[in-house]
Amino acid sequence: AQRVTQPEKLLSVFKGAPVELKCNYSYSGSPELFWYVQYSRQRLQLLLRHISRESIKGFTADLNKGETSFHLKKPFAQEEDSAMYYCALRHGGGFKTIFGAGTRLFVKA
Amino acid sequence: SAVISQKPSRDICQRGTSLTIQCQVDSQVTMMFWYRQQPGQSLTLIATANQGSEATYESGFVIDKFPISRPNLTFSTLTVSNMSPEDSSIYLCSARGADNSYEQYFGPGTRLTVT
């Protein structure tokens, strides 16, 4: 069965520190992986996806098929990064997206 | 992109009653979905709303409890029937673009409290 695991419910770091939000998945085929973010009082929105290999707001995520991971990283956290982050998986070429439990990132001044 | 609105934004309902949530997208979309987000939990897919045909439900969700309509490419409704306190949750409408783009858009959610 497809599953997305985010082991940390809460991650607290100081401003300027590196941050890594962990995501592991289980899927037998070729998944599409995404990170979604929800800032306070805003709706859920796409942050980045593995296919594009882009950096958004300083965040990057690399798909590691050997470790079935898609960790989200940023070298220097900012206070405005405080939000809820969800890792998500969609079957390659499919239409259903499943979400991990989410990690709340809190960046302290 | 697609902008999604939902009505109502929140409601408090008595057990045993039903509530219909409306979802309107500002452009035609291929896929529309309904998710539930219970307090402190992640998003759980309830069903895919299919235009002109019956919705496709995920395991654990049934049409009698969560009837869904999708009369056209921009509108869908989800009804939560015979509510109980366990149905208290945020219900989210989501959609993917007409070009079947990778990005999935979300509505602001409907916060339902059942007393």
- Condensed to tens digits (0 to 9), the pLDDT of residues B67-114 reads 999 999 999 999 999 999 999 999 999 998 766 667 889 999 999 999
- Condensed to tens digits (0 to 9), the pLDDT of residues A51-101 reads 777 888 999 998 898 999 999 999 999 999 999 999 999 875 567 888 999
What distance in Å separates the CA atoms of residue B112 and residue A16, rounded to the nearest whole number? Answer: 38
pLDDT value at residue A81? 97
When pLDDT is averaged across residues B36-61 and rounded to a whole number, the result is 89
Mean pLDDT in chain B? 92
7-26 in chain A: CB under 8 A from chain B: none
pLDDT exceeds cutoff 70 at B49 = yes
pLDDT value at residue A35? 96
What distance in Å separates the CA atoms of residue B82 and residue B103, rounded to the nearest whole number? Answer: 34
pLDDT value at residue B98? 64
Interface touch A46/B96, C-beta < 8 Å = no
Interface touch B48/A98, C-beta < 8 Å = no
What distance in Å separates the CA atoms of residue B110 and residue A11, rounded to the nearest whole number? Answer: 27
pLDDT value at residue B102? 72
Element (H, E) at B20: strand B19-25
